[in-house]
Structure 1
C-alpha cells in the first residue's frame, strides 16, 4: 500500500519501524526473526535504510522486495544521492517499480567512509530536494523525506535552514517527513509550530530511538546532531554498565516520550529498532491505547 494512502486513510496515529540491511547472512537471519516478531504489532509500514555511503544498496533492494512479497507489510526503501548518477538511480527505481515497491524515503545521504564531506558524483544529485523532484518524475511513488528538529549537523543556519529545506521537499513532491530521533519533546513541538507557520502541511512523524546501549547512543548522537539532555545523562550514566537496567529504563523513557507526543497531536511514531524487536513491542504494548 502506498504511504500517501496509509497516511490519508488513517483515523488514528500510526506506528512504524525502521531497519538496516545487515552485512552478513547471520545478521540477515536476525533481521527476519525481528520482522516476524514485529508482525504481531502490525506496523503501518517498515523502512529499510542504506548502509553508510550507500554501501548496502543491493541488500536494501532485496530486503524491501522480500518484505513486500512475503510479509504483507508495506515497505519503504531508503534512497540516497551517494555515489549514484541520475541514470543509475533511474535504473534502480525502474527495478523497484517492476517489483511493486511503491514507497521511497529520499535522503541526500552521508559522505562515504574516508570523506570529510558529501560530494555528488558527476551526473548525480547534491541535495535531497533534487532527488525528490526526480522521484516525482520517475513513477507513481509515494515519497517520504527526513527532517531534523534540532538542526542538521551540517546546517549553518540551524533549524531555520531545516524548515526552509523541508518546505522545498514538500513543494517538490514529498508526502510526509520522518524526523531524526530526539529526546526533548519540546524541541519537536517548537519545530512543528515553526513548520506550521512556514506553510508545511504534510505530516511530520517523530522518530524515536529506544535506548538499549547508552554509550552507543552517545556515539550516534555526536554524529547526527541529536542532543542528549543533562537529565538523560544523569539517569543513564550510573547504570550504563548494566545492559538490562539500561534497556528497562530506555523503554520507560520511550513510553513516556511517545505518550506525550501522541497526546499533543503527533500523527504517528517511527521507531528506530536497530534490528531488535523487544523494545518496539514493549513500547507498542504500553501505548496501544493511543493507536
Structure 2
C-alpha cells in the first residue's frame, strides 16, 4: 500500500521510523528484535537505508521484505542515484514489488567514502530524475523525497534549495521527509515557503535525538544541519557535569520538546531517526505523549 494513502487515512499525528540494516548477518536477529519492540509506537511506516553506492542494497531488500511480511510494518526502501542506471533501478523495484513492498525514498545520495563522482556522467544526476523514472515505470509505487529545512549543504542559496525541492515534488513524489534539524522554526518556515510556492504535499519532520557531543559534531559535518548556540552550550555544560549520559539525557529531553512543538504547530507526524535504539525511541514517545 502507498504510504501517502496511509497518511490520508490517519486522523491523528503518527510516528514513522528510520533504520539502517546491519551489514553482518549475525546481527540481524538483534536488529529485528529492535524493530519488533518499536511496533509499540504503531509506526505508520519504516524507512530502510542502504550504503552509499548501493553497497548493502541486497541487505536492504531482504530486510525490507522481512519488516513488511514478518513484522508487519509498512516499509519504504531507500533508492539512490549513485552508480545506478535504468536497468539496475528497474530490477530493484521489481524485487521490491515481488516482496510486497511498494514505497521508496528517492535520493541523489552521496559518493562512497574516498570516491569522487562526476555527476555529469551518472545516468541519474538528481533525485528528481529518479522520481521521474520511478513514477513512469512503476505507477503503483509510492515515492518520497528528502527536504532540507536549513538547505542542502551544496545549495548555493536557500531559494535554490527550495526550488530543487519543488522540482522533486512536481516530478511525482508524494511527500517530503526532512533532514534532521534542531530549530523547529526552520521546519515551519520551510513548510510555509513550500505552501507559498504552491506545494501542498505533506512534509514530515525528521528528528534525531542527540547522543553525545562527539556524535552531534560528526553529524553536523555530514548533513549541514544547524544547531542553536544556546542548545550547544547546554550540551557542553551537561558534558562537563556528567559526560555522555548527561548529554544523552539533555538531547532526549530536547527531542521531546521538539516533537511537542512540531505536533502543536500542525506537523502531520514525526519521523524518528532511531539509530536502531529501541529504548531511546520508546522513552521519547512516552515523554512526548504523542
TM-score, normalization by structure 2: 0.94
Aligned partners of 1:143 and 1:133: how far apart in 2? 10
Task: Give the secondary structure class of the aligned counterpart of 2:119.
Answer: coil
Q: Distance in 1 between matches of 2:177 and 2:232?
A: 25
- The equivalent of 2:152 in structure 1 is 152
Aligned to 2:245: 244
Higher deviation after alignment, 198-207 or 227-236: 227-236
Q: What is the DSSP-based 3-state SS (H/G/I as helix, E as strand, rest coil) of the residue aligned with 2:78?
A: strand
Q: Deviations over 1:154-209 (max 9, x none)?
A: 1112x212211121112111110000000011111111111110111100010000
Q: Distance in 1 between matches of 2:137 and 2:30?
A: 34
Q: Which residue of 2 aligns with 1:213?
A: 212
Determine if contact 1:106/1:132 at 8 Å carries over to the other structure.
yes
> 1:1-291 alignment to 2 at 5 Å?
1-117=1-117, 119=119, 122=122, 124-139=123-138, 140-157=140-157, 159-240=158-239, 242-288=243-289, 290=290
Q: Where has structure 1 moved over 4 Å in runs of 4 or more?
A: none
- The separation in 2 between residues aligned to 1:214 and 1:51, in whole angstroms, is 24
Using a 3 Å threshold, how does the CA distance of structure 1 residues 118 and 202 change in structure 2: closer, same or farther? Answer: farther
The answer for unaligned runs of 5 or more in structure 2 is none
Q: Residues 184 and 118 from structure 1, CA distance in 2 versus in 1: closer, same or farther, beyond 3 angstroms?
A: farther
* Contact preservation (8 Å) 1:13, 1:268: yes
Aligned residues, how many? 287
Residues 212-246 of structure 1 deviation map (CA, whole Å, 9 limit, x = unaligned): 12211211111110012111211111333623222
SS of 1:237 mapped into structure 2: helix
TM-score normalised over the length of structure 1 = 0.94
1:117 CA displacement:
4.9
Give me the CA root mean square deviation.
1.5
Residue 266 of structure 1: SS of its match in structure 2?
A: coil
